[in-house]
């Protein structure tokens, strides 16, 4: 059983909702990444989504776009991200890590080479937002290396396509709470609760809900009907401008603590 499957099995057995924070690798500082990942775990993260900086992050809103720009300006690349995951694994062999990003850096790196290096570093899954189901055969080297390929679904996903996604889902299925970019809009849980309940009844993997989750209250509302809550833009925004690794660590822990408490009180 993979680390992701083990973690969701443990959450289910304990009756807990998973907390999945997203941070952009290299922001606010390349020197802070590994310490920040450990801080997320200490703050209550069950799984970490680590964003791979990309110059054209079309699915992301301004907050994460700017985080990518800052990381790229500091020279952060895919090789750095894999190295940081490897360093994280020296102290944490249990917390799943999923890389979130776009096809281009993986294609340039080479699918086979990326798959081998990511698996060796301790990456557990990959979410490539611009890889549609119809083109997912290119990801076979990743699956062969043991990496979970995480799928995205949205309110605009047609029924037939949703059925396909539910059938092939592995690790977890990431449900985007509204149509749009990350960090945008106002979350309305009443609009998505019934849809997520239907997906959970059919999907072969747990369902995590993200986009629009900004604080403990919105996370708690999502926890009423999801297996896990993903929170990204609000956390990235909180980390923006942290001058040192210690400051980034402190900000991350302060941000996650009330969210973890709200989920555990659910």
Cβ count near 108 (within 10 Å)? 10
Rounded to whole angstroms, how far apart are CA atoms 19 and 256? Answer: 9
CB 25 within 8 A of CB 33: yes
CATH numbers and ranges of domains, the chain: 3-264 (3.20.20.70)
State percent of the chain over pLDDT 90. 77
CB 241 within 8 A of CB 28: yes
Model confidence over 145-177: pLDDT tens digits? Answer: 999 999 999 888 999 999 999 999 999 999 987
Residue 43 has pLDDT above 70, yes or no: yes
Give the closest residue to 51 by CA, choosing from 24, 82, 86. 24
- Which residues are known catalytic residues? 49, 60
Model confidence over 47-105: pLDDT tens digits? Answer: 999 999 999 888 788 899 999 999 999 999 999 999 999 999 999 999 999 999 999 99
- Note the pLDDT of residue 187: 55
Give the closest residue to 112 by CA, choosing from 160, 68, 144, 78. 144
Q: Rounded to two decimals, what is the model's pTM?
A: 0.93
Counting Cβ atoms within 10 Å, is residue 86 exposed (0-12), middle (13-18) or buried (19+)? middle
């Amino acid at each position: 059983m993979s680390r992701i499957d083990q973690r969701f099995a443990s959450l289910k057995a304990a009756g807990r909702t998973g907390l999945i924070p997203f941070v952009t690798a290299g922001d606010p500082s390349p020197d802070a990444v590994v310490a920040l990942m450990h801080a997320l775990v200490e703050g209550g993260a069950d799984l970490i989504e680590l964003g791979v900086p990309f110059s054209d992050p079309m699915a992301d809103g301004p907050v994460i776009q700017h985080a990518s720009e800052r990381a790229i300006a500091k020279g952060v690349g895919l090789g750095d991200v894999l190295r940081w995951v490897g360093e994280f694994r020296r102290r944490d062999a249990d917390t799943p890590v999923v890389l979130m990003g776009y096809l281009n850096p993986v294609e340039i790196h080479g699918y086979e080479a990326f798959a081998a290096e990511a698996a060796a570093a301790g990456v557990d899954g990959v979410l490539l937002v611009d890889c549609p189901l119809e083109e997912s055969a290119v990801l076979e080297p990743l699956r062969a290396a043991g990496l979970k390929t995480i799928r995205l679904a949205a309110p605009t996903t047609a029924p037939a396509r949703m059925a396909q996604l539910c059938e092939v889902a592995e690790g977890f299925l990431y449900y985007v709470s509204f149509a749009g970019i990350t960090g945008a809009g106002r979350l309305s849980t009443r609009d998505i609760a019934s849809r997520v309940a239907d997906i959970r009844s059919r999907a072969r993997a747990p369902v995590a809900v993200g986009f629009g989750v900004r604080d403990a209250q919105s996370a708690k509302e999502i926890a009423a009907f999801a297996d896990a809550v993903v929170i990204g833009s609000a956390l990235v925004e909180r980390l923006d401008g942290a001058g040192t690794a210690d400051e980034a660590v402190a900000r991350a822990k302060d941000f996650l603590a009330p969210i973890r408490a709200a989920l555990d009180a659910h």
